[in-house]
Structure 1
Amino acid sequence: MRGQSGVSPPTTDEARPRTCPRCGQPAFEGGEVWIHGHGVVQRQQRGPEAPGKVTVKREVSCRRYRCKACTAVLTVVPASALARKHFSGAAMALALTLWGLCGWSAAQVRAVVGGQLPPEGKPRGWRTLARWARQVADGKLWASLDSRAQGAPRQVAARVAQALCGRAPPWARAAGLPHQAFAGACHVN
């Protein structure tokens, strides 16, 4: 489900969650709809469309639902989006791979994946990389990889980059590590 600008989001029925993650209520029970469509919202997503491409900021469409049983509001995001992250999962995978496996400096990664330089124009580090690595180590980011690595943030970044490369589809295996991790992130639940 890709909901980028200019592309309509999936229909309400296509994206409707089967159950409410908060209370467990099934979407349909007893001939009644319990999880109702609650509109479409736009969400910012940043990152390159592919390794080597320029970073863009785009809006993605997300469907919202409301559970009649517990009144929770649920948001269904495109597969490229990660919870509470402005960067796409593939962009984050690319950044961690360039930093952890390819040995790029944080400033180089920021300029390429972050798409921005500090206001004064001087390259400097990117603390976001270490934060993402800590979130991976804590199991809060890409928890399905079960790659809770210990060590310095760059070591954790290398470990998760390897795990994401391992998730790359067969067609991406001949490409370099950044391409493999980028493609692998698109195949992580």
Structure 2
Amino acid sequence: MTAVPAVHYLRPARCPCCDAAGRPVDGPLRMRGHGLRERQVYGPLQAGGAPQLVTVHARRYRCSACGAIVVVVPRGLLPRRRYTASAIGWVLARVGLDGATTPTVRAEVCSCAIVGVAAAERWLAPSRWIEASRRGQLFPRLGRHGAESTRVQIAERTAMQLVALSPRGDAGERAPHLAFRGAALAA
């Protein structure tokens, strides 16, 4: 996440908007490099590690066919989310499977030392993530969850789906560690 690969390594094969080939065999490039954009993301780099704030350089490409701008980010980042997918998976597993409170989990994934008065008692980001998961927008390949389910049930189900996606490690490894790795693959 800290190294910036060359433009040709990350060039999209197709434009997601018009489906034009990014690098046609018999023609000029359609997906051209369009600079870099910095993006700050929160979360530990390892399961159970110290929370960090990392600046990621995302490559931008412009489609010459339709003019769309495409941003290519490292695996493990979700669109329009401040936290890494792994950090979100960790939070959902801790809340849904371990029954941890949101202020406790916030201290595990957020590197901010200063929080507001309301944030000391309740952290709202997990509620947003759970609602996005209910609609199938957080990790789209996991699907939707039933409208009758509670937030804790949705967090639990999403975490278990992320655990199932995770490559297996040690036999005694805890579910939040597996959800952390599975979320990076589901992003």
TM-score, length-scaled by structure 2:
0.91
Which stretches of structure 1, 4 residues or longer, exceed 4 Å deviation after superposition?
none
Q: Secondary structure at the match of 2:120?
A: coil
User: Would you say the 8 A contact 1:169–1:184 is kept in 2?
Assistant: yes
Correspondence for 1:178: 176
Larger RCO: Structure 1 or Structure 2 (Cα < 8 Å, ≥ 6 residues apart)?
Answer: 2
CA distance in 2 between partners of 1:48 and 1:104 (Å): 17
Could you tell me which of 75, 89, 92 is aligned with 1:93? 89
**Which residue is equivalent to 1:25?**
20
* CA distance 1:154–1:96, shift in 2 (3 Å): same
Equivalent residue for 1:11? 6
TM-superposed deviation, 1:119: 3.7
* Matched residue type, 1:43: R
C-alpha distance in 2, partners of 1:11/1:174?
40
Q: Distance in 2 between matches of 1:185 and 1:119?
A: 28
Contact 1:107-1:124 at 8 Å conserved across structures: yes
Supply the distance in 1 between the matched residues of 2:90 and 2:170 (Cα, whole angstroms).
14
User: What is the identity, as a one-letter code, of the residue corresponding to 1:72?
Assistant: A
Sequence identity (%): 30
Residues 1:113 and 2:109 aligned together: yes
Deviation, structure 1 residue 51: 2.8
CA contact (8 A) 1:169 1:183 kept: yes
Change (3 A) 1:59 1:137: same
Report the equivalent of 2:98: 102
Aligned residues: 184
Map 1:81-160; keep pairs closer than 5 Å: 81-116=77-112, 118-120=115-117, 123-150=120-147, 151-160=149-158
**Partner of 1:59 in structure 2?**
55
CA contact (8 A) 1:149 1:159 kept: no
- Unaligned 5+ runs, structure 1: none
Residue 164 of structure 1: aligned partner: 162
Deviation at 1:113, TM superposition (A): 1.8
Whole-Å Cα distance in 2 between the matches of residues 71 and 187 of structure 1? 30
**Aligned partner of residue 187 in structure 1, secondary structure:** helix
Gaps of 5+ in 2: none
TM-score (norm 1): 0.90
User: Post-superposition shift, 1:88?
Assistant: 0.3
- Counterpart CA distance in 2 for 1:170 and 1:84 is 29
Deviation readout 1:84-109 (Å, 9 max, x if unpaired)? 01100000000111111100011211
Does the C-alpha gap of structure 1 residues 14 and 145 become closer, same or farther in structure 2, counting only changes over 3 Å? same
Specify the SS of the correspondent of 1:22.
coil
